[in-house]
């Protein structure tokens, strides 16, 4: 069985996320998603609309996702690859080159993002249109 891992915040789950997760799953047989915890997002200066548990529940409901684990720090990637016997690490191509150090442990693949959608764009449009924030 070929195992794949990807990392992310996955706030305001949208079809760009679904595309990325389906394409990540297509790289193997089993997809692990390391989901940023609320505490880790806070350290990164990010505030999510949905809590970690809510985001985790949404990801677990997706057919492409086999396992969701918490991402608590930048440094955990090598340990995750070893612990979960990962064959392929997948990230969006806006991170190209940033995780090449993992090539010592597994294949590293950068996939193109869905160009016309992003969580940042959704949040900006909601703010512009006066939608209530959480």
Reply yes or no on whether 46 is catalytic. Answer: yes
Residue among 102, 107, 20, 104 at smallest CA distance from 64: 20
Given 2, 46, 47, 96, the catalytic residue: 46
Sign of CA dihedral 95, 113, 61, 29: negative
Question: What residues are paired with 82 via a beta bridge?
Answer: none
Question: What residues are paired with 97 via a beta bridge?
Answer: none
Contact 75, 56 (CB under 8 A): no
Q: How far apart are CA 101 and CA 35, in angstroms?
A: 20
Given 3, 25, 44, 127, the catalytic residue: 44
Q: Which residues are catalytic?
A: 44, 46
């Amino acid at each position: 069985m070929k195992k794949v891992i990807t990392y992310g915040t996955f706030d305001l789950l949208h079809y760009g996320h679904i595309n990325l997760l389906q394409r990540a799953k297509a790289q193997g047989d089993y997809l692990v998603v390391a989901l940023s915890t609320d505490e880790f997002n806070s350290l990164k200066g990010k505030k999510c609309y949905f809590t970690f548990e809510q985001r985790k529940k949404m990801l677990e409901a997706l057919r492409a996702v086999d396992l969701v684990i918490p991402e608590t720090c930048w440094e955990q990637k090598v340990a995750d690859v070893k612990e979960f016997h990962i064959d392929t690490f997948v990230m969006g191509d806006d991170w190209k080159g940033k995780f090449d150090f993992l090539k010592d442990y597994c294949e590293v693949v950068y996939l193109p993002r869905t160009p016309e959608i992003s969580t940042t764009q959704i949040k900006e449009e909601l703010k512009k249109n006066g939608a209530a924030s959480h």
